Amino acid sequence: MTFTPDFERRNRIEQVRLAAFTTMRIGGPATLVTLESRADLAELLGQPHRWLGRGANLLIGDDGVPEPVVRLGESFATLELGEVSGGRARVRVGAAVDLAELIAACVKAGFAGPEGLAGVPATVGGALRMNAGTNTCWMLDWVSRVEVVLPGETEPRWLERAALPAAYRSCGLPHGTLFLGCELELATADPALLKATGTRLKQAKAATQPLALASAGCVFKNPAPTMPAGKLIDDLGLKGEHIGAAEISTVHANFIVNRTRAATCADVVALIRRIRERAWRERGVLLTMEVETWNCPVELHIHPRELAGVGV
Ligand SMILES: Cc1cc2nc3c(=O)[nH]c(=O)nc-3n(C[C@H](O)[C@H](O)[C@H](O)COP(=O)(O)OP(=O)(O)OC[C@H]3O[C@@H](n4cnc5c(N)ncnc54)[C@H](O)[C@@H]3O)c2cc1C
């Protein structure tokens, strides 16, 4: 990976351990680029790279990744609240804005919708990419347009929300799409009511999730709306099982927590393998990853019946 001197002058480039940039506190070395200038997008997109938000949905290998890992800097963290017209308002937000900041601004202005995502740790870009959601709504429910750079292109373009085949935890756009921001179209409501809803959702999360410990949220997608992965793992009697410092949470079985922050990616992978094998063997259920994996063993994504020949 090489950057031109102009690129290096305008953007921050540092050698880091990615563990410091993920909520799981796991991940080996990489080159971290903080992109400050839109003018440098084309140079960056011309070589292999990975996008990083708040690192709240990532499991990264202990050897790190060879490609530059790129965060969007301050110039991508703009937030504009539009005027109210006909009971609706437009909000334009950059991908680097923290989702909590967007929610707080909308609640204060009395713009309804985003408060339904209260307590989801994310940047706006990561929330768009994952179509982050709770049991009341998804990120893309409130979005009217997204600004993206599609794979193979270098110029940003705006896409109407209707063009995105979004689904549960999926924005529907190809892997490698860069989100630069979005526009939301929101109805107005009483700020006090919106605040109360957000507070209630955050309290519910605090009561049911191990928020004091390092994790990447739910490890697996729910196999079906009527079959939460956490309940399945709990029913298999796996709560509290651990490998090294990686433990299946005793609070929410779909979370793996890095109890002392000393767990390795290998520990987490071995635990995931144990869960997937038991779910398949004993319930005939195929658990697939919700957490995104970077440079992790392929076994996380292959069918458990193929795992017999794969060493850990
Ligand atoms: C305690 C806890 C609770 C959670 N609860 C929920 C929940 O209720 N609902 C839920 O949906 N999720 C939940 N999560 C998971 C996480 O919050 C979401 O997946 C969130 O959308 C991740 O956003 P991020 O900015 O951290 O993205 P990252 O984890 O940094 O990245 C996730 C993926 O998005 C890509 N990405 C990041 N930014 C961009 C960008 N600008 N353009 C293109 N791609 C990008 C990355 O390359 C990666 O593939 C939880 C996580 C934790 C730790």
Ligand 1 binding pocket (C-beta < 6 A) is 23, 50-58, 72, 95, 120-123, 125-127, 129-130, 132-134, 178-179, 209, 211, 215-217, 292
pLDDT for the residue numbered 312: 43
Strand, coil or helix: what is 172?
coil
Q: Which domains does the chain have, with CATH numbers?
A: 5-74 (3.30.43.10), 77-207 (3.30.465.10), 229-309 (3.90.78.10)
Dihedral, CA of residue 51, residue 52, residue 58 and residue 60, to nearest 10: 80
% of the chain with per-residue pLDDT over 70: 98
The predicted pLDDT at position 177 comes to 96
Assigned token pair, 196: 């109360």
Whether pLDDT at 220 is above 80: yes
Characterise 67 by phi-psi region: left (phi > 0), alpha (psi -120 to 50), beta (else).
Answer: beta
Q: What is the pLDDT of residues 287-311, one digit of tens each?
A: 999 999 999 988 898 898 887 655 5
How far are the Cα atoms of 77, 159, 173, 181, 222 from residue 150, in angstroms, in the given order?
A: 20, 10, 8, 13, 28
Please report, for residues 55, 176, 276, 304, the alpha-carbon distance to residue 308 in angstroms, rounded to integers and kept in the order given. 31, 32, 12, 8
Residue among 295, 296, 309, 249 nearest 275 (CA) = 249
Does residue 259 carry a catalytic annotation?
A: no
Which secondary structure element, helix H or strand E, spans residue 30, and what is its range? strand 29-35
Query: 92, 169, 259, 274: which one is catalytic?
Result: 169
pLDDT of residue 306: 84
Residue 232 contacts residue 240 (beta carbons within 8 Å): no
Residues in the chain: 312
pLDDT in tens, 54-99: 999 999 999 999 999 999 999 999 999 999 899 999 999 999 999 9
